[in-house]
Structure 1
Amino acid sequence: MPAKKTFNDDQVVEKIMHLFWKQGYYHTSMDDIVTTSGVKKQSLYNALGDKHTLYLKALSRYHQQTLTACARNMQKLERAGESALTVLGMLFSRGLKTDAQPQGDLMANAVAEFGASDADVQRAVTWFYDDYLTLIAAAILKGQASQQVTTQQSSMALAQSLLDARIGLQTRLRLGSQIDVAQQQQVWLAFLKA
């Protein structure tokens, strides 16, 4: 008779996600994962898969959590009557400077570590950034409709520029650069303003 599972998959993946986020894929060993999760190695393999599979699960969890939080924050700001520029400021700087999580962004870290060398990681990152881009473009489109955001470029072109700037900041923060995120946000909002 197989042993009864004594852990919650979601809680374990959450812990492992933060470990990969902090240390990166290549600097995280299976022993680190076992220690952090509190689950025996064979039980992890049986329930959740190998290190690469765990990494993909961590990327998926990060994607779901981040995009859900962004969508909720957008709705909250819009219900409060905040401007499209306020929403865009939140999307630009959300999570860039906080002590509650590792610096940067798990997806930007994945790009830095893997580039295009792993098709599964590349798919996960592309899916995440496509969804984030869609959120930004929707906020820009609303801002253009209300004449708060410039119409000199399409909403998608502006969204791509804003996302690229965010990814660049995330990468620099991960490298330990001291960046005034609020100042960068103000520069981009001035650029977007109608």
Structure 2
Amino acid sequence: MAGTKQFDEDVALDRALDLFWRQGFGATSMQDLAQATGVLRGSLYHAYGDKQALFLRIYARYRERYLARVREALAAPTPDEALRRYVDFAVEMIGAADDASMSRGCLTTKTATDETAMDAPIRAALRELLDAVRALVEERLARPDAQGRLALPPAAAALLLVTATRGMVVMERVYRDAAQLRAVGGDVVRLLLRPA
């Protein structure tokens, strides 16, 4: 039927996400995306528009999955455990590994440091994700079980933790040491939360 997609959209978008994640926005061409997805370049243009529009579509799906995992981590019964689970999730998403070929880095941070990706629509999408993560962390830290234990107000503590996990991406790129990242994350959690 004319005008209908002739490919499995979920599979194609997941393959495109993987390619953007591995190569970065700037280094990924529409031809690369066509090869990775098995969808003709013209069909990709027809279905999604240009590369930026396709990235934004993919990133919106990624955002929902990412935020679901953040919510899951922060649902832990104690604030200490919730923040540790969030840090562990952040390290997992970075893909820290001794083998450089296994490391993807953080899609958000990788895109934010790619000058070719910093048009207003992409910057807005990245900001939306980071703001949503910060809001979820702040909400968890504003609960009664964390009150009185925080070294900073919940909003400041959330911003510090989210900023620290973004900085872990740089450290991962240099050291490829997941244990080091978890240790740093644990130190941040201990600085933010006084002992119960």
What TM-score range do you get, normalising by the shorter chain? 0.7 to 0.9
Structure 1 counterpart of 2:176: 178
Is contact 1:30–1:41 with CA below 8 Å preserved after alignment? yes
Shift, 1:50, TM fit? 1.4
1:94 alignment partner, SS class = helix
In the alignment, the residues of structure 2 paired with residue 40 and residue 123 of structure 1 have an alpha-carbon distance, to the nearest angstrom, of 29
* Percent of residue pairs bearing the same amino acid type: 23
Q: Following superposition of structure 1 onto structure 2, how do residues 147-166 of structure 1 map, counting pairs within 5 Å?
A: 147=146, 150-166=149-165
Shift, 1:133, TM fit? 0.1
Structure 2 CA distance for partners of 1:188 and 1:47, relative to 1, 3 Å: same
Structure 2 counterpart of 1:72: 72
Structure 2 CA distance for partners of 1:61 and 1:53, relative to 1, 3 Å: same
Is contact 2:87–2:182 with CA below 8 Å preserved after alignment? no
Is contact 1:15–1:37 with CA below 8 Å preserved after alignment? yes
Structure 2 counterpart of 1:86: 81
2:28 alignment partner, SS class = coil
State how many pairs are aligned: 185
Structure 2 CA distance for partners of 1:4 and 1:163, relative to 1, 3 Å: closer
- The residue identity in structure 1 corresponding to 2:140 is A
- The residue identity in structure 2 corresponding to 1:150 is R
Is contact 2:108–2:126 with CA below 8 Å preserved after alignment? yes
- The residue identity in structure 2 corresponding to 1:178 is R
In the alignment, the residues of structure 2 paired with residue 115 and residue 90 of structure 1 have an alpha-carbon distance, to the nearest angstrom, of 33
In the alignment, the residues of structure 1 paired with residue 17 and residue 132 of structure 2 have an alpha-carbon distance, to the nearest angstrom, of 20
> Unpaired runs of 5+ in structure 2?
none
Provide Cα deviations, 1:6-41, integer angstroms capped at 9, x if missing partner: 212232111111110110011112221011101011
Shift, 1:3, TM fit? 6.6
Structure 2 CA distance for partners of 1:149 and 1:186, relative to 1, 3 Å: farther
- The residue identity in structure 1 corresponding to 2:45 is Y
Shift, 1:73, TM fit? 3.4
